[in-house]
């Protein structure tokens, strides 16, 4: 039986933080704002079904998942950096959960984000931030490398996830622009109703990925 896994990306077993994407500078004056980092939903409510039957089985990434990047951007004539933020809701993936109420193991973790659908969500007064999206798409060469992918062999999950938010550390591999690097994603997870929510992030330098 397949179950629902929600991956949020401020968040995510794949949080794509493009720290080195830079390369574009334009004039700026007046107001600017960036959306806050994504996180888990409000206080978890343990699923009665999960408490009775456990979490073992196949979990599939479902509606509501997001992947997001956040990059520091410095405008001409300014000294304070701006957080440029873009996101996509086209996220797929799955994992298997083994174990019982004494502790769980997530195995075969795969999360893929569609980079062709990334769109800026921050605001800069007097500027069309969507112009940035074209530049980022070209630098990431999304026509040839349309996806960012995070994979991990396994991760330990505390049994208390059925009743409370837990911290999880997930060592794995992140592939962007055809380059794969080892990364470690700190994440939080919780059971809400009939789904597991997970939120994590990875800070990277895009020059390491040939961008």
- State how far the alpha carbon of 128 is from the alpha carbons of 26, 31, 162, 210, in Å: 11, 13, 44, 27
Where are the chain's structural domains?
2-209
Closest to 113 measured CA to CA, from 209, 16, 211:
16
> What pLDDT shows up at residue 150?
92
Give the CATH fold of the 2-209 domain.
Lipocalin (2.40.128)
What is the chain's alpha carbon radius of gyration, rounded to the nearest angstrom? 18
> What pLDDT shows up at residue 21?
34
> What pLDDT shows up at residue 53?
58
Paired strand residues for 110: 94, 151
Q: How many CB atoms lie within 10 A of CB 190?
A: 24
pTM over 0.85: no
> What pLDDT shows up at residue 133?
85
Tens-binned pLDDT, residue by residue, of the chain (211 aa): 457 766 654 322 333 333 333 333 333 333 445 555 656 776 555 454 454 456 888 999 988 888 888 887 766 666 667 778 888 999 999 999 998 878 899 999 999 999 999 988 877 666 666 778 888 898 899 999 999 999 999 999 998 998 888 999 999 999 999 999 999 999 989 888 788 888 888 888 888 888 8
């Amino acid at each position: 039986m397949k179950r629902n896994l929600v991956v949020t990306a401020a968040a995510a077993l794949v949080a794509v933080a493009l720290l080195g994407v830079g390369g574009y500078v334009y004039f700026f004056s007046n107001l600017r704002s960036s959306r806050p980092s994504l996180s888990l939903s409000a206080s978890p409510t343990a699923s009665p079904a999960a408490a009775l039957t456990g979490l073992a089985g196949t979990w599939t990434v479902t509606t509501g998942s997001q992947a997001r990047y956040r990059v520091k951007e410095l405008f001409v004539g300014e000294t304070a950096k701006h957080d440029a933020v873009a996101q996509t809701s086209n996220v797929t993936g799955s994992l298997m959960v083994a174990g019982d109420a004494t502790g769980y193991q997530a195995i075969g973790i795969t999360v893929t984000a569609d980079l062709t659908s990334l769109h800026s969500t921050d605001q800069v007064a007097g500027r069309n931030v969507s112009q940035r999206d074209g530049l980022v798409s070209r630098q990431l060469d999304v026509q040839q490398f349309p996806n960012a992918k995070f994979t991990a062999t396994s991760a330990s999950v505390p049994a208390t996830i059925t009743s409370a938010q837990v911290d999880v550390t997930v060592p794995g591999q992140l592939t962007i622009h055809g380059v794969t690097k080892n990364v470690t994603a700190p994440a939080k997870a919780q059971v809400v109703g009939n789904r597991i929510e997970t939120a994590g992030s990875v800070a990277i330098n895009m020059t390491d990925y040939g961008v």
